[in-house]
Structure 1
Amino acid sequence: MAPLQLAVIIGSTREGRMGDRVGRWFVDQARQHDQVTVTVVDLADYDFPASYPAEPTAPMRSFAARIGQAEAFVVVTPEYNHSFPASVKQAIDYAYDEWQAKPVGFVSYGCGSVGLHAVDQLRTVFTALHAVTMRDVVGVDLLCDEPMLATDELGRTAGVLLDQLCWWGLALRDGRARRPYVS
């Protein structure tokens, strides 16, 4: 069976962000899982327009194509003011059908929190897009300092999330092959 095509989306685009470090740590965890092939989609690499244009731009089309190629997703998101950043919402809105009938997991982080408010709101958004969100989350408390990513507990949590994504991703791959999803 072909490995699951997992896209890890790094959601923060701020200068000095921690998202790239947290994302790299998760990508390292995912690459140890033999059922997935990992692609990194860093939103900082896209020159998205400030407002939604009448016609999609090249970066918007490129992003939607990368989402369309993936069979499962992990969104690495900070929690800003009890929510997720605008960069994540903007990117999500540039795709629609590409998210459907695919699983989405979350790696969230915050300062003095593990970002669960952001995840709760993202679950609502992805449910509206007909995606399946994973129950378990990898949450990282930055403690306003360098993240403590090399803990056994976080490694186990990442493993659980990857196992859930694989189960759902492979089941939904089979389902889409047998019967195209319609919304």
Structure 2
Amino acid sequence: MTQIAIILGSTRPGRRVDTVAQWVAEAAGRHPAVQAGEASVELVDIADHELPLLDEPAPAATGIYQKAHTKRWAATIDRFDGLVFVTPEYNSAIPAALKNAIDYLWAEWNHKAAGIVSFGLYGGTRAAEQLRQTLAEIKVADVHAQVAINPYVDFDFTEAEAGVCAPGERQEALLTTMLDEILEWSRALRVLRAPAASAGPRPGPT
């Protein structure tokens, strides 16, 4: 089974990333591969891991993780074959908490496929482009399809003051295409992920 993490990319109080991620999880649950038991999706909230500003003495590429919170985070990400990053756009960039969470690890990210669901006034597209640059550096294959959520179009404000993410059929169709691509690439990259990512100290990128 291909396991996909839906990563909530913000820790801000009052954030909207949780409602967007919940919509992603619900829509992903309707994907044929998930319904057939060939794939699974799981919400992964970086807020639950309580990662301080990067405090590891050694670079992540060495694999020498000393802090308990780093080891827990590494074990979480290591379980997955593919990733969906759900990120808002803060000042034309991804949230600092998401960048910090990415920087903690190295091998646990390598050779995995990822898709991006961004949201913001302009669909979060500038944050998504910045995230693509970061993913390339940690050897994550980001797929072409992307979902860009605009809160003024894709949110329902009748149920809650902060609104509930409720995109139309077009956005779910884009998400389905993105998941198709993540599954294809995750399977293709499996041979490169065969060695355990957390097998101990390892050299960094050359």
TM-score by shorter chain over 0.5: yes
For 1:56 and 1:109, locate their aligned partners in 2 and report how far apart those are by CA, in whole Å: 34
Residue correspondence of structure 1 range 19-98 to structure 2 within 5 A:
19-33=17-31, 34=33, 35-54=38-57, 56-98=66-108
After TM superposition, give the deviation of residue 150 of structure 1 in Å.
3.6
Q: Partner letter of residue 95 of structure 2? A: P
* 1:163 aligned onto 2:180: yes
SS in structure 1 at match of 2:6: strand
For 1:25 and 1:14, locate their aligned partners in 2 and report how far apart those are by CA, in whole Å: 19
1:18-69 deviation per Cα after TM superposition (whole angstroms, max 9, x unaligned): 1000001101112222232112110111211234243642222111111111
For 1:114 and 1:61, locate their aligned partners in 2 and report how far apart those are by CA, in whole Å: 33
| Matched-pair contact (CA < 8 Å) for 1:140–1:147 | no
For 1:44 and 1:118, locate their aligned partners in 2 and report how far apart those are by CA, in whole Å: 19
User: Quick one: percent identity of the two aligned structures?
Assistant: 33
For the pair shown, which has the larger CA radius of gyration, 1 or 2? 2
Cα distance change of structure 1 residues 137 and 52 upon mapping to structure 2, 3 Å threshold: same
2:112 aligned to 79, 97, 102, which one?
Answer: 102
* 1:135 aligned onto 2:152: no
Q: CA RMSD in A?
A: 2.1
Q: Partner letter of residue 12 of structure 1? A: S
For 2:191 and 2:164, locate their aligned partners in 1 and report how far apart those are by CA, in whole Å: 37
After TM superposition, give the deviation of residue 95 of structure 1 in Å.
1.1
Aligned partner of 1:15 in structure 2 is 13
Greater alpha carbon shift after TM alignment, 69-78 vs 42-51: 42-51
Structure 1: gaps of 5 or more residues: none
Report how many aligned residue pairs link the two structures. Answer: 178
SS in structure 2 at match of 1:118: helix
Q: Partner letter of residue 113 of structure 2? A: P
SS in structure 1 at match of 2:149: strand
SS in structure 1 at match of 2:178: helix
For 1:108 and 1:166, locate their aligned partners in 2 and report how far apart those are by CA, in whole Å: 19
| Matched-pair contact (CA < 8 Å) for 2:20–2:165 | no
1:80-112 deviation per Cα after TM superposition (whole angstroms, max 9, x unaligned): 1100000000100111011111101101000x2
For 1:49 and 1:82, locate their aligned partners in 2 and report how far apart those are by CA, in whole Å: 23
For 1:48 and 1:59, locate their aligned partners in 2 and report how far apart those are by CA, in whole Å: 6
For 1:100 and 1:107, locate their aligned partners in 2 and report how far apart those are by CA, in whole Å: 20
Structure 2: gaps of 5 or more residues: 58-64, 158-162, 198-202
For 1:12 and 1:74, locate their aligned partners in 2 and report how far apart those are by CA, in whole Å: 14
Q: Partner letter of residue 40 of structure 2? A: T
| Matched-pair contact (CA < 8 Å) for 1:84–1:119 | yes
